[in-house]
Amino acid sequence: MGKLGLLDHADGAPLTPDVGRETLLQFVDAVEEGFEGLFATLAEDLPPIHGVTSELRTITGDGGHEIGLHVHRPEGVEGPLPVIYQVHGGGMVMLAAKGALYTRWRDELAAAGAVVVGVEYRNGGGALGPHPFPAGLEDCATGLRWVADHLGELGGTHIVVTGDSGGGNLALALPIKAKREGWAEAIAGVYAQCPYILGDWTEASLPSLVENDRYWLNRSLFPLLAEVYDPGAGNAAEATCWPYHATAEDLRGLPPHVISCNELDPLRDEGVAYHRALLAAGVPSIGKVNLGLCHVGELMFRSAMPDVYAEAVRDVLGFARSLG
Amino acid sequence: MTTDVSTPHIPPGRLGDPGLTIGTDPRADPRMARSWGSSGSSTTPTAPR
């Protein structure tokens, strides 16, 4: 077994979703600590990024709570620029925009020529929880609408939403929510990486859930995180909770999407299915499968695979520019 | 070059060989696989210790 403990099969989750909420929340705390430790290790010794400034803006959510917006912008670049609204991963129940992996990702996107805004939304569990669905999505929407209302002040032209894994879920849910509420014009496009959207992983209903199970991510983890996000599966069929279940009516008229999946990801096939659903509903969508990569591998291994990381930056930014 | 397929199809990943891991699946980018084994962390994110 490698030093990360992940060259062999990843450990099975030691719990079942019915163990009780407190136990599940404690489990998420431990998983979050593990993920942040992993990401901090992978971010060690990366070369510094020059020419990018960042600031934390704080806005107020509907419940009176604070929502942090991490704004990154390139220095000395003539604007206005596309705005990339970045939603971090973590199964909607853990991790943070301020973490090492996502701070680096925003810096890299900004250095390439975008204003990047990372939203610190309430999580279903972990250090920024516990706030089940729809709290996090509501925060993401509040932050996005603030960015849209302050586009000129930010030096932006238009907004592309991007997110990975659980952030991919939220990135896909946002335009569905926006369409229902009548503000979809705020979103010019959506770029989702390895989205975590199925909502029910008790059965291996898609081939990649078996094909790539325990390739870092263990399928048995997903139902536990899902129970923390959506207790009692009360929103199992709700498209803004689990976008895999979006109907053609939910999707019709949405802005262009990119659905980027990874070959060795257990979640690959739910992303592929979503891409096909978008196309069936008449939404322009580019579907990608990145060969040889595990879940979110293009963001994790900046040192080992700088060309892969750079391609991810180019692709997100190129998509954003194409919509200007 | 022939277009004849003479070798049997083996489903990819653990569908075809349940014993495969991210370190042994031939589809994995070898740089990624090496990284899993050399980052110096003992962190395993899927289960608490």
How many domains would you assign to chain A? 1
Of residues B28, B37, B46, nearest to A2 (C-beta):
B37
pLDDT bucket at B2, cuts 50 / 70 / 90: low
A13 or A5: which leads in pLDDT: A13
Is the residue at A183 inside a domain?
yes
CATH code assigned at A238: 3.40.50.1820
Mean pLDDT of A132-156: 98
Nearest CA among A276, A169, A273, A186 for reference residue A226: A169
pLDDT at position A4 is: 53
> What was the pLDDT predicted at A203?
81
Chain A residue with minimal CA distance to B12? A211
In the prediction, which pLDDT does A10 show?
A: 64
The answer to whether the Cβ–Cβ distance between B39 and A4 falls below 8 Å is yes
Q: Is residue A221 part of a domain?
A: yes
| Collapsed DSSP state (helix, strand, coil) of residue A154 | helix
**A8 assigned to some structural domain:** no
The answer as to whether A12 is a domain residue is no
A61-98 pLDDT, tens per residue? 999 999 999 999 999 888 899 999 999 999 999 999 99
How many Cβ atoms are within 10 Å of A149's Cβ, its own excluded? 11
Other CB atoms within a 10 A radius of the CB of residue A57 amount to 15
Average pLDDT over residues A35-50: 91
Q: In this complex, which of B23, B31, B42 lies closest to A301 when CB atoms are compared?
A: B31
- Do A214 and B21 lie within an 8 Å CB cutoff? yes
Select from B17, B44, B49 the residue whose CB has the most chain A CBs within 10 Å, as the one to mutate to test that interface.
B44
* Bridge pairing between strands A156-164 and A285-290: unpaired
* CA closest to B31 among chain A residues: A304
Residue of B nearest to A216 (CA): B22
Quote the pLDDT of residue A284. 98
Q: 30-49 in B: which are within 8 Å (CB) of A? A: 31-49
Greatest mean pLDDT among A35-49, A145-159, B23-37: A145-159
Q: Specify if A74 maps to a domain.
A: yes
The mean of the pLDDT values for chain B is: 77
- Give the pLDDT band of residue B1 (cuts 50, 70, 90): low
Nearest to A265 by CA among A305, A218, A232: A218
Who wins on pLDDT, A116 or A78? A116
Q: Do B32 and A305 touch (CB under 8 A)?
A: yes
Question: ω before A231 within 30° of 0 (cis)?
Answer: no
B26 has a chain A CB within 8 A of its CB: no
Residue A31 pLDDT exceeds 70 = yes
Q: Give backbone dihedrals phi and psi of A197, rounded to 5 degrees, phi first.
A: -135, -10
Residue positions counted in chain A: 324
User: What's the mean pLDDT in A119-131?
Assistant: 97
Strand order in the sheet with A66-74: A52-60, A66-74, A115-120, A81-87, A156-164, A189-193, A257-262, A285-290
For the residues A259-288, what does the mean pLDDT come to?
98
**A170 three-class SS:** helix
Query: Cβ–Cβ of A211/B34 closer than 8 Å?
Result: no
Nearest CB partner across the interface for A221, out of B21, B32, B46: B46
Pairwise CB contact (< 8 Å): A34 & B23: no
**What percentage of chain A has pLDDT greater than the value 90?**
89
| Angle between helix A135-149 and A166-181 (nearest 10) | 70
Residue A185 domain-assigned (yes or no): yes
Pairing relationship of beta strands A66-74 and A189-193 according to DSSP bridges: unpaired
Mean pLDDT, residues A176-194: 98
Integer angstrom CA distances of residue A281 from A9, A69, A238, A284? 38, 33, 18, 9
Q: Which residue has the tokens 């990372």?
A: A118
What pLDDT sits at residue B27? 97
Q: Which domain holds residue A118?
A: 17-322
CB pairs under 8 A between A and B: 132
Give domain status of residue A6, yes or no: no
**In A, which residues are within 8 Å of B43 by CB distance?**
4-5, 34-35, 37-38, 41
CA-to-CA distance for B34 and B32, rounded, in angstroms? 5
Q: Would A82 be classed as within a structural domain?
A: yes
> What average pLDDT does this structure show over A109-126?
98
pLDDT at residue A44, as a whole number? 87
